[in-house]
Amino acid sequence: MKQDRRNFLKTLAIGSAAQLISAKSRGARGLYSQTSHDQIASIAHDPLRPEFHLLPPHNWMNDPNGPIWWKGQYHLFYQLNPHAAVWGDMHWGHAISPDMIHWKHQPIALAPTPGGADSEGCFSGSAVVLDGKPAFIYTGVQNAPPAETTLHDGNDKLRETQMLAIAEDSHLLRWKKIESPVIATPPQGMVVTGFRDPCPWREGDAWYLGIGSGERTIGGCVLLYRSHDLRHWEYLHKLAQGKPNGKVAVNPCDSGEMWECPDFFSVSGQHCLLYSSEDKVFWTTGEYDAQQHRYTATRTGVLDHGSAFYAPKSFLAPDNRRILWGWIRETRPEAQFAAAGWSGAMGLPRVLTINSEGQLEMNPAAETAKLRGPAESAELKAETPCKQTLATLRRELLIPLDHAKPKISIRLSTTGKAIWELLIDVPASLVTCGDITFALPPTLRPDDALRIFIDGSVIECFFAGRECLTSRVYEVRPGDTELEISLLAGESFRVTQWPLEAISPDRLTT
């Protein structure tokens, strides 16, 4: 059973879940809140836990928040429950890195304020620089009477408002919250399906802000606001509007009547809008009218075809690359990840561009090459599959796609049983992985390739820079998992692999 970022709300009144929310006063500044030495040791030796992806030392992680480059460091914040490995009691975790690969954990950046507008959680948001200081704009939630609730997913007890916090030091360790919400309610007269995940940008002498929202029977949307100081906002109109998918669902995200985590930006001289809904992430590219402040999508697609990638957030690196982070969620039963003591990971940094045809392109950041050990190369022949037992579950594969139009199988097996298989049929422009099927780009370029990153239970695949697939595989075991690459049709060619280094000695990524 998948545990998405909202399903936990339906269980707040059941068993220990309610106790998690009431526990927010305990250990809010610590990363190891009430976790024993034995539990930490167990997590550090869990073979399913990634070793070069960012994740907190333990407990629950979801959406990336407020990525920013500041004073020579990359800062990445994220949704964190410091008390358990299930969703609830949302704080903002914090990690820093010189290269987006090697991370050091920092104290929790934001915690709910008892009695405040974020008393029931500091939900997702963004970071900008205001008057020389980094600032967070994020969604705070608190209990409210039915007439004032905005989060309508069957639980209907929380009011969402938009909050502001300003950094008080250059290391971004201390944050001063503005006590009152800077946007307290949705637009007048609008009955929303949600009101969260603010996405700001600067345009001329003003700030603009998109907020994820939607309406029943009308569809998900992004609400557009304008401000000159981040504190006082005026509602303009909808930046973009979607349509329902025709399903009847308690949770409007399932029916396309709510868009979560919008991200609106320009790249490669064009504009892009990302949003999360219907259990996946959609990308759109299109035209933005800077006079009327309206966006019209002209092309759309799915950002990642797997069921594990959700709620991404991008930022501009100091070299002007548009970098995207995404939450890699669990796809195993909640009881299993709760018992494991950890849940979720951050995807590898992806560089976004838009080609001349309006297609969003995604490639792993060049910094990932820092993880590589010595290259290993082998010729792949139809009659001789490449087989190897993985002593560690850290691997990168590079497979050419344009060469001789091959048909390839990449398979992982444990104790002789196939646990994951990827089929790439280049002549048919088709990719299959379990019950997932999608098309390859119909025209391949000379250097187009498939890049696969294996890290514990996480597998991230990049197809010719234009399609992605993230999988979770929980049957992998180091020393007992075999990687097999088979050429099913086409001429022989060379496959390159690299062993990848762990970013910490104990899987705690700090």
pLDDT of residue 34: 58
Stated pTM of the model:
0.94
The C-alpha atoms of residue 378 and residue 480 are separated, in whole angstroms, by 22
Query: Is the residue at 510 inside a domain?
Result: no
Owning domain of residue 286: 7-364
pLDDT of residue 4: 53
DSSP string of 422-478? EEEETTTTEEEETTEEEEPPSS--TT-EEEEEEETTEEEEEETTTEEEEEE-S---T
The C-alpha atoms of residue 171 and residue 129 are separated, in whole angstroms, by 14
Residues in CB range of 136: below 8 A, 6 or more apart: 65, 66, 77, 92, 109, 110, 125, 126, 127, 163, 164, 165, 166, 175
Query: Is the residue at 297 inside a domain?
Result: yes
pLDDT of residue 131: 94
Please indicate, yes or no, whether residues 404 and 490 belong to a single structural domain of this protein. Answer: yes
Under 8 Å between Cβ of 51 and 456 = yes
Please indicate, yes or no, whether residues 352 and 378 belong to a single structural domain of this protein. Answer: no
Residues in CB range of 316: below 8 A, 6 or more apart: 69, 265, 322, 323
Please indicate, yes or no, whether residues 257 and 138 belong to a single structural domain of this protein. Answer: yes
**Mean pLDDT, the chain cut into blocks of 10 residues (510 residues total):** 48 36 37 68 93 96 98 98 96 98 97 98 98 97 95 87 98 97 97 98 97 98 98 98 96 97 97 98 97 97 97 98 98 97 98 97 98 96 94 97 89 96 96 97 92 98 98 97 96 95 88
pLDDT of residue 41: 85
Query: Is the residue at 96 inside a domain?
Result: yes
Query: Is the residue at 1 inside a domain?
Result: no
pLDDT of residue 364: 98
Under 8 Å between Cβ of 186 and 192 = yes
DSSP structural state of residue 244:
-
Query: Is the residue at 232 inside a domain?
Result: yes
The C-alpha atoms of residue 312 and residue 185 are separated, in whole angstroms, by 25
pLDDT of residue 154: 80
Please indicate, yes or no, whether residues 358 and 382 belong to a single structural domain of this protein. Answer: no
Query: Is the residue at 2 inside a domain?
Result: no
Residues in CB range of 69: below 8 A, 6 or more apart: 75, 315, 316, 317, 318
Please indicate, yes or no, whether residues 101 and 188 belong to a single structural domain of this protein. Answer: yes
Please indicate, yes or no, whether residues 312 and 417 belong to a single structural domain of this protein. Answer: no
Under 8 Å between Cβ of 474 and 459 = no
Paired tokens of 283: 């990308």
* Residue among 125, 452, 424, 463 at smallest CA distance from 304: 463
3-state secondary structure of 339: helix
| Structural domain total, the chain | 2
3-state secondary structure of 256: coil
Query: Is the residue at 418 inside a domain?
Result: yes
Residue 338 is inside which H or E element, if any?
helix 334-340
- CATH code at 461? 2.60.120.560
Under 8 Å between Cβ of 27 and 311 = no
C-beta atoms surrounding 133 within 10 Å: 15
Please indicate, yes or no, whether residues 353 and 387 belong to a single structural domain of this protein. Answer: no
Query: Is the residue at 31 inside a domain?
Result: yes
Lookup result for tokens 């950094």: 167
The C-alpha atoms of residue 79 and residue 400 are separated, in whole angstroms, by 37
Burial class (CB in 10 A: 0-12, 13-18, 19+), 115: exposed
The C-alpha atoms of residue 194 and residue 211 are separated, in whole angstroms, by 9
Please indicate, yes or no, whether residues 492 and 382 belong to a single structural domain of this protein. Answer: yes
Please indicate, yes or no, whether residues 189 and 50 belong to a single structural domain of this protein. Answer: yes
C-alpha gyration radius of the chain = 22
Please indicate, yes or no, whether residues 161 and 140 belong to a single structural domain of this protein. Answer: yes
Catalytic residues: 63
- CATH code at 109? 2.115.10.20
pLDDT of residue 296: 97
